[in-house]
Chains A and B, each alone.
Chain A
Amino acid sequence: MPATPGGFAGKVLRVDLSTGKFSTQDTFERYGEFLGGTGLGYQVLWEEVPAGAGPFDVANKLVFATGVLAGTSVPCSGRTAITTIFPSCWPKALVGSGHMGGQFAAKLKYAGYDAIIVEGRAERPVWLFIRDGHVELRDASRLWGGGIRRTTLEISQEMGADCCVAAIGQAGEKLAPMATVVNSMSHSAGGVGGVMGAKKLKAIGVQGSGGLRIAGDREHWERLVKFHLSILGANNQHVVPAFPSPESEYYNPGSRWVGEPGKRWGAAQPPVEITGSIHDMSRISYRTNSAAYFLGEQAWKHTVRGNGCTSCPIRCHTTLKVPAMATKYGLNEIAQGTCIALNFGRFFFPALPGGPKGQAALEACMIGMNMADDMGIWSNYGQIQRDFIKLANEGVFQAKLGSAEYASVPWDKWRAGDPAFLLDLIPRIGERRGELGNVLSQGSAGPFDHWGIPESSWEADHATTYWKMGHPKHHANEDDGQCGVIINTQYNRDAQCHSHTNFVRNGLPLHEQKRLAGELWGSPDSVDAPGHYTRMNPYKAQRAKWAIIRKELHDCLGLCNWMGPWVASPLKERGYRGDNSLESRFYSLATGRQLDREMLDLAGERVFTLHRALTIRDMATVDMRGAHDRVPRWVYEDPQGAQPFSQGTIRMDREDIGLAMDMFYEIMRWDKATGAPTRAAYARLNLDAVGKALADKGLAPESGK
């Protein structure tokens, strides 16, 4: 019987940039308990990165880890997590992950590795060459200072057209907290680019002819893959179309399933009309058009096609062709992105001629995508743009910037909503040029640290959607009441969890959602109507836990939490049910190790709890409730003064949220007073050693209550 379970490439690569030495470890033997992905990353950080290490310190490590299912035909399995001490986490950098899709995950596995642990710091810029287990560090001095596009081109010239390159741009080289790592044109991992830059690692090129063994029976595997395809909806697992259809009882104008028969990819040559059944398995890629969803009907005529991660049929990235980009701005006519990338440029403007779905908005997004993904700039889920607008509108720029620098910025273009403004602004950020560029490149921490602006003013302003620790909300109470609030308290950057929001925004009527919720989380009361929230109950806590654990699990398995979990489906004949055990079924078949849903979820809980432990250790406080699991003030206020639990408000109640946190800690078996896992909680998850190490520092309560 082979030592390595199926699905894994089998080896983790360690690269010590200080010494130039490589070594490998057996993935499953060494890291199997933490599955892969973020789990592997947290394990490395716990064991090897000392508490208090800064993000750009030599002691910090950068863990590129994909999961056991990546590189296979499991739908939506193209994800890589990059775990490190996260630069934009403020005021103290703590553990965090960026996530990227594209081809990197699959190609890394075909090259022979499940993960790369980058340690130390190179003396001079280097790039990492990986081909079929052969590893080298090559000189990157000619690439340094250049953008991600050219870097990718030149590395591809050296390695071959089928390699995949993950690279930083100027922003990462200059250690900007707002820097990304980008692969496959538009797939970016937020926040981690500066860590790579600090290590003088410009890029990683992966290429390989290897493959992955599927342990399970071939026919069984094929059936499960086809089953998964059959329960897919569109992006974010929206399971009803945006248009009334003879093939569907339900529809939702707000659905991301916008591919209505009759629409077409207008910039394909010749245009590709959408035809046939919306449930046809060979039409899945036509359901989603993120550009049309965010930028309106006009985007269809500019759509070349959909794009996305290896193995995913959804294609949530849209390749757009806009001739005006070349004629007006001297930029590539073609750009590509999904959701936040498609909004990158548009979000900088408080108003645009033609509105948020007009031509100017389209052009602004094209500029944003082109430039940000070349310089490797992160938007922090739109926070950099919201911060910019607030600082401009409140006169902070005018007050704080030197007069020469202030005068050099074309503010008139910004006020007029002229996309050309971005041609000036974005390079400032990417190059960290001047005070403006420098401050913005630090994220929200920039104004807080550099200009002494109190965080509390961000916390009080609804328009910032600021949450805590330098990052914004990410599907919080505006989508999902207490569940969303709980989820947003738990991480050290924006939560990046979609398990809950994919469900509540899936487009099914409330009564269908409640019926499914009853089956999934014990009661229909686990789900509320949007903006008509009811008081906290244990079922919502159950759902919040499920959402977090599943997200962590996806990040460990290489699955996409923007699509999963797949607990609802478009299929009327299934009562719109999906499958809550899909992840464990795939895991078992791929690896040959039988883990049922509860057991795999337990592994996910282990991983998430290690994240908690890392956070506690590095904050050096056990008081998570007070110091970490914070909720901004605006959540407890309503601009029109509406009361919590009335219809038409997302306003939460402090006491009720207190109760929500109580219930969450209880269901996690953590200490209620502090929100810290107890010794028993760690022991239950096979984290005895972790619990003891923290207890020795007074950071693990003995028992919960």
Chain B
Amino acid sequence: MVKEQPPTLIALAASAAGLDASLSRRGFLLFSACAVSSLAALGLCEAFGASPPVVILDNATGLILADPSRCVGCQRCELACSEFNDNRSQPSLARIKIARALNYGLDGPTGGSRMQGLWGDGLVVQGVCRQCPHPVPCATACPENAIVPDPKTGARMVDAKRCVGCRLCQRACPWGMMTFDEDRQKASKCFLCNGKPKCVEACPAGALRFVPWRDITREGRPTVAPLSVIPAAKAKACADCHTPAAKKGARR
């Protein structure tokens, strides 16, 4: 149950939604269309139980926006990411992804007039983590709760101590944005560099900006075939809220 929040706020919210004062976990989520932002505002992630599976993450506060029309294909962003975060010059570890679309665009070496990239129309579509809102595919897929929000920015980051290298997160990301360090056998992903992203600083063409977060998950098509993998313990937690509509007692 609710641990820390001022009871008045919850009571207000509940009565505004027509719910009675003592709420179940599920009931709490139902009172607002923007449940998650409200939750974020109320800081309720920790609210539910002793050590529940992490299902819901507060939104991130920042986001890296990439402008393909400015990208000059230098890959300095990838190098900055791996050099300053991994101490290696290794674009395959970079948490911003250029190399894969640099030459032919997202559709690859098809030939024809619609290719992008170096051998097409020149446009370089950068791969940038969207810091997804709930449900966060990588975090949800992780059986170890190893993908957690960064305290400073809310960026979804891999806690390397908890990561067991199962790669479920890699499979789950619709945009293939997870990085896997084969040497360390750990996943990694963009964590916004404590609020000062190295890639943004490194870009010599101003093609990257660090901006207040907004939900861009519906923009730009996924590039990886979706495969929903949710560990059993989590599925149970999901089912707690995601019940059939007929069982929902409260009005929306």
- Complex-state Cα separation, A266 to B143, whole angstroms: 50
Q: Is the CB of A153 within 8 A of B79?
A: no
With a cutoff of 8 Å between Cβ atoms, the chain B residues found around residue A307 in the complex are: 72-73, 118, 122
Is B182 in the interface zone, CB < 8 Å from A? yes
CB distance from B101 to the nearest CB of A (A): 7
Is B91 at the interface (CB under 8 A from chain A)? yes
B206:A283 contact, CB within 8 angstroms: yes
A211:B88 contact, CB within 8 angstroms: yes
A282-B205, A308-B72 known; A149+B119 contact, CB < 8 A: yes
B167 proximal to A (CB < 8 A): no
B145 contacts partner chain A, Cβ-Cβ < 8 Å: no
Is B121 part of the binding interface, using a Cβ–Cβ cutoff of 8 Å?
yes
Given contacts A310-B75, A311-B74, A319-B122, contact A73 B83 (CB under 8 A): yes
Q: In this assembly, does B108 line the interface, its C-beta being within 8 Å of a C-beta of chain A?
A: yes
Q: Known contacts being A73-B76, A156-B104, A334-B121, is A213 close to B204, with CB within 8 Å?
A: no
B89 contacts across to A, CB distance below 8 A? 71-73, 211-212, 214
Q: Is the CB of A214 within 8 A of B83?
A: yes
Q: Mark B12-48, 1 if CB is under 8 A from A, else 0.
A: 0000000000000000000000000000000000000
Interface residue? A269 (CB, 8 A): yes
The answer to whether the Cβ of A529 comes within 8 Å of any Cβ in the partner chain is: no
CB of A220, distance to nearest CB on chain B (Å)? 12
Query: Quick one: given A162-B102, A214-B83, are A313 and B122 in contact (CB under 8 Å)?
Result: no
Q: CB-nearest residue of chain A relative to B86?
A: A211
Q: Would you call A218 and B76 a contact (CB within 8 A)?
A: no
B93 touches A211 (CB 8 A): yes
B102 CB → nearest A CB, Å: 7
- From the candidates B74, B93, B109, name the one contacting A285 in the complex (CB within 8 A): B74
- Please report whether the interface of chain B is mostly helix, strand, loop or mixed according to DSSP: loop
> With the chains together, A154 CA to B108 CA distance in Å?
11
Per-residue CB contact flags for chain B residues 115-136 toward chain A (1 = under 8 Å, else 0) read 0011111100000000000000
Collect the chain A residues with CB atoms within 8 Å of residue B186's CB. Answer: none
Question: Which residues of chain B come closer than 8 Å to A161, judged between CB atoms?
Answer: 100-101, 103-104, 108-109, 117
The answer for the CA separation of A613 and B207 in the assembled complex, in Å, is 48
A152: B residues at CB distance < 8 A: 119
Least CB distance, A142 to chain B, in whole angstroms = 15
Residues of B contacting A162 with CB < 8 Å? Answer: 99-100, 102-103
When the two chains form their complex, are residues B109 and A210 in contact, meaning their CB atoms are under 8 A apart?
A: no
CB distance from A370 to the nearest CB of B (A): 12
Instruction: Please give me the residue from chain A that is nearest to B100 by CB atom.
Output: A162
With the chains together, A308 CA to B74 CA distance in Å?
7
Residue A331 lies at the interface, judged by CB distance under 8 Å to chain B: no
Contact with A along B64-79 (1 / 0, CB 8 A): 0000011111111001
CA distance A306 to B90 in the complex (A): 24
Residue interface mask A138-154, B partner, CB < 8 A = 1: 00000000000100111
Q: A184-B118, A213-B87 are in contact. Are A315 and B92 (CB under 8 A)?
A: no
Which residues from B are CB-within-8-Å of A304? 121-122
**Which residues of chain B come closer than 8 Å to A312, judged between CB atoms?**
74
Asked if A406 is an interface residue, CB under 8 A from chain B, the answer is: no
**Smallest CB separation, B241 vs chain A (Å):** 39
Say yes or no: is A222 at the interface (Cβ < 8 Å to chain B): yes
With A162-B99, A221-B83 known to touch, is A110 a contact of B74 (CB < 8 Å)? no
Separation in Å of the A681 CB from the closest CB of chain B? 37
Asked if B203 is at the interface of the complex by the 8 Å CB criterion, the answer is yes
Is A258 at the interface (CB under 8 A from chain B)? Answer: no
A residues contacting the other copy or chain, number (CB 8 A): 53
Closest chain A CB from B167 CB (angstroms): 15
Among A214, A270, A285, chain B packs the most CB atoms within 10 A around the CB of A285
Within the complex, which residue of A185, A210, A272 is in contact with B70, where a contact is CB–CB below 8 Å? A272
- The residue from A214, A270, A280 contacting B88, defined by CB atoms under 8 A apart: A214
Quote the shortest CB–CB distance from B233 to chain A (angstroms). 33
Cα–Cα, bound, A305→B72 (Å): 7
Question: Which residues does chain A contribute within 8 Å of B80, judged by CB atoms?
Answer: 73
Q: Chain A, 281-297, contact with B by CB distance < 8 Å: what is the 0/1 string?
A: 11111100000000000
- The chain A residue sitting closest to B85, CB to CB, is A218
Let me know if A211 and B73 touch, CB within 8 A.
no
Residue-wise interface mask of A (239-279) relative to B, using a CB-CB cutoff of 8 A (1 in contact, 0 not) = 00000000000000000000000000000111010000000
How far, in whole Å, are A305 and B69 apart by their CA atoms in the complex? 8
Q: A residues within 8 A CB of B101? A: 161
Q: A72-B83, A305-B70, A308-B72 are in contact. Are A110 and B206 (CB under 8 A)?
A: no
Q: How far is the CA of A73 from the CA of B71 in the complex (A)?
A: 17
Select B82's contact among A157, A211, A229, A268, beta carbons within 8 Å: A211
Most buried by B among A284, A305, A319: A305
Asked whether A209 is an interface residue with its Cβ less than 8 Å from the other chain, the reply is yes
Which B112-169 residues have C-beta < 8 A from chain A?
A: 117-122
A210 touches B204 (CB 8 A): no
Q: Answer whether residue B238 sits at the interface, using C-beta atoms and an 8 A cutoff.
A: no
| Distance in angstroms between the alpha carbons of A270 and B120 in the assembled complex | 17
Q: Kindly state whether residue B52 has any CB partner on chain A within 8 Å.
A: no
Q: A282-B205, A282-B206, A283-B204 are in contact. Are A110 and B91 (CB under 8 A)?
A: yes
Given A72-B83, A161-B104, A209-B182, the answer on whether A315 and B93 have CB atoms closer than 8 Å is no
Q: Is B202 an interface residue (CB 8 A)?
A: yes
Per-position binary interface string of chain A over residues 318-346, scored 1 when its CB falls under 8 Å from any chain B CB and 0 otherwise: 01010000000000001010000000000
Verify if B7 is at the interface (C-beta below 8 Å from A): no
Q: Is B205 within 8 A of A286, CB to CB?
A: yes
Report Cα–Cα, A161/B122, bound state, in Å.
14
B231 at the interface (CB under 8 A from A): no
Q: In the complex, are the beta carbons of B91 and A305 less than 8 A apart?
A: no
Closest approach, in angstroms, between the C-beta of A573 and any C-beta of chain B?
Answer: 21
Tell me how far the C-beta of B78 lies from the nearest C-beta in chain A, rounded to whole angstroms: 9
Q: In the bound complex, do residue A211 and residue B109 qualify as a contact, i.e. CB atoms below 8 Å apart?
A: no
Residues of B within 8 Å of A229, CB to CB, are: 204
Q: List 24 A-B contacts (CB under 8 A).
A: A73-B80, A73-B89, A106-B75, A153-B109, A161-B109, A162-B102, A184-B118, A209-B92, A212-B89, A214-B83, A214-B87, A222-B83, A270-B69, A281-B201, A282-B205, A283-B205, A304-B121, A305-B70, A305-B72, A305-B122, A311-B79, A313-B74, A315-B204, A321-B121
In addition to A222-B83, A281-B204, 19 A-B residue pairs with Cβ atoms within 8 Å of each other are A73-B89, A103-B102, A110-B90, A152-B119, A156-B104, A161-B101, A162-B100, A184-B103, A211-B86, A212-B89, A212-B90, A214-B88, A229-B204, A272-B69, A283-B205, A305-B72, A308-B74, A310-B74, A313-B204
- What are the 5 tightest A-B residue pairs by CB atom distance, in nearest-first order? A211-B90, A313-B204, A209-B92, A73-B79, A285-B205
Q: Mark A residues whose CB is within 8 Å of B.
A: 71-73, 103, 106, 110, 149, 152-154, 156-157, 161-162, 184-185, 208-214, 218, 221-222, 229, 268-270, 272, 280-286, 304-313, 315, 319, 321, 334, 336
